[in-house]
C-alpha cells in the first residue's frame, strides 16, 4: 500500500522573501558630486585654452623668425 508523504509540521513562522529597498543617496551627496564634476570640466577647459594660447605664441614666434631673421653680429676686434 502506498502512503502519501506528509510534510513535517513545524512551529516556525513563515517569513516572506522581500526584495531590499533601493539605496537612495542623500541629496547633499549628489550635489557635491555635481559640483566636483563641474570643477573638473572647468579645469579641463582652462588647460585646453592654455595649450591653444601657448601653441599660438609658438607658431607666431616661428612666423616672425622666418619673416625677419635676427641679424648676427660678429664681434671682431681690431
Whether the model clears a pTM of 0.85, i.e. scores above it, the answer is no
Query: Residue 43 is placed in which grid cell?
Result: 579645469
How far apart, in Å, do the first and last CA atoms of the chain sit? 136
Domain ranges of the chain: 33-66
Label residue 5 left, alpha or beta by phi (over 0 means left) and psi (-120 to 50 means alpha): beta
Would the pLDDT of 74 be above 80?
A: no
Which of residues 46 and 26 earns the better pLDDT score?
Answer: 46
Rounded-to-integer distance, Cα 71 and Cα 76, Å = 15
Q: What is the pLDDT of residue 63?
A: 87
Q: What percent of the chain has pLDDT over 90?
A: 24
| Three-point CA angle 57, 59, 61, nearest 5° | 65
* Residue 54: pLDDT band with limits 50, 70, 90: very high
Where helices occur in the chain by DSSP H, the ranges are 27-67
Amino acid at each position: 500500500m502506498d502512503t502519501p508523504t506528509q510534510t513535517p509540521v513545524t512551529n516556525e513562522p513563515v517569513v516572506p522573501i522581500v526584495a531590499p529597498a533601493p539605496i537612495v543617496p542623500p541629496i547633499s551627496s549628489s550635489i557635491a558630486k555635481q559640483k566636483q564634476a563641474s570643477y573638473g570640466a572647468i579645469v579641463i577647459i582652462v588647460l585646453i585654452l592654455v595649450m591653444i594660447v601657448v601653441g599660438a605664441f609658438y607658431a607666431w614666434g616661428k612666423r616672425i623668425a622666418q619673416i625677419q631673421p635676427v641679424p648676427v653680429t660678429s664681434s671682431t676686434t681690431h
